[in-house]
Amino acid sequence: MSANLKSLESYSSMADNTSNNSPVNLLSLDGGGIHGASQLIILDEIMKRIQAKKQLTEVPKPCEYFHLIRGSGTGGLNAIMLGQLKMSAEDALQNYNKLAAAVFSSDNHKPFYKDGKFKASTLEAQIKEIVKHSHGGYTGDESLLDPDAGKDSSGNVFVCAKTIVNVESPQRFRTYVGLPNQGPDCKIWEAVRATTATPTIFKSIMITDPGEISSLYMDAGLGHNNPSKEVREEAMQLFGSDCHLEVFLSIGTGHPGSNGFQRPKNIEKILSLQLIKTITNIAIDCESVAFDFARQYNNSLGIYFRFNVMYGTGALKVDDWQRGGDVLAHTNAYLRDSDVVKMIDKLGKTSHIKNIW
């Protein structure tokens, strides 16, 4: 089976596959600047509702449920916390908020905004702290590769970034081995830095693999901020075209609408306008892919689920982390919407939790 967009109908039909393979659940997390907390709030609610539906004693972790997780930008950070570091959605949200408070604060602004508005060194330090405290004995410099990851396990993760010399074809950073073009053998924090290196926000990162080959990486960019296509393609390679697709969950970081971002003031005006344009383009890019997937999965009921908050006019400034309460308020209001409630209930009824291989 080919892995291009045209193969979607046959890929969707895996829900009716009669093979003995166990079901596969996929999670796709959009990029979207600093508003990545929104998707973790949504995912936390989904996991809690699944717990209630399945009458589980504990809230399941996403790594116990999803076999493959792909994130872009801040969604890549979330993917690694959820999959590689095996956090609950609630724990990932706490870590995300702590990181955002340090990284997107006024204290972390660059004096002349060269190579991005915020200091990447602070982001690196925060990622290392998250890794270090995720498991006993970790130092913060752990390898991205997980010896227990692969097609026979859940919680596999990959993120993407582009090299400066080849901006057309993003490189995949994987926690598992076994596929062609494996990608860099790097540290967890390096992979996160690479996928979050949006030019107007953070500078690019130089990564040197064990073969002493160095490449300069930046985020995957437009066309890849909603990574659903890459998740589908990777799943076919990793699990085989005869696997049984149970759930494909895609979560955004929020859509600003036509006037959803606050306009900047004073000396930050020029750079902030560039940042607004970047984040707005990301949002439009993500929704374009989501619309395409919703249309093509329309005949496969109960497989594809898309959640994304629509913010109100003037609700958020792109780099105002102190208004995280607004993200929470908008997301909780979205989760109370009757159509969203029904969609989460439907997802919970069709899901498999734990021991699914």
Is the CB of residue 348 less than 8 Å from the CB of residue 45? Answer: no
Q: What pLDDT, on a 0 to 100 scale, did the predictor assign at position 276?
A: 52
Q: What pLDDT, on a 0 to 100 scale, did the predictor assign at position 295?
A: 63
Low-confidence ranges of the chain (pLDDT < 70): 1-21, 33-34, 113, 167-168, 210-211, 221-224, 256-301, 311-324, 350-357
Residue type, 298: N
CATH architecture for residues 5-349: 3-Layer(aba) Sandwich (3.40)
Residues 286-337: pLDDT tens digits? 566 666 666 666 655 678 898 988 765 335 554 555 566 778 888 899 999 9
Q: What pLDDT, on a 0 to 100 scale, did the predictor assign at position 284?
A: 59
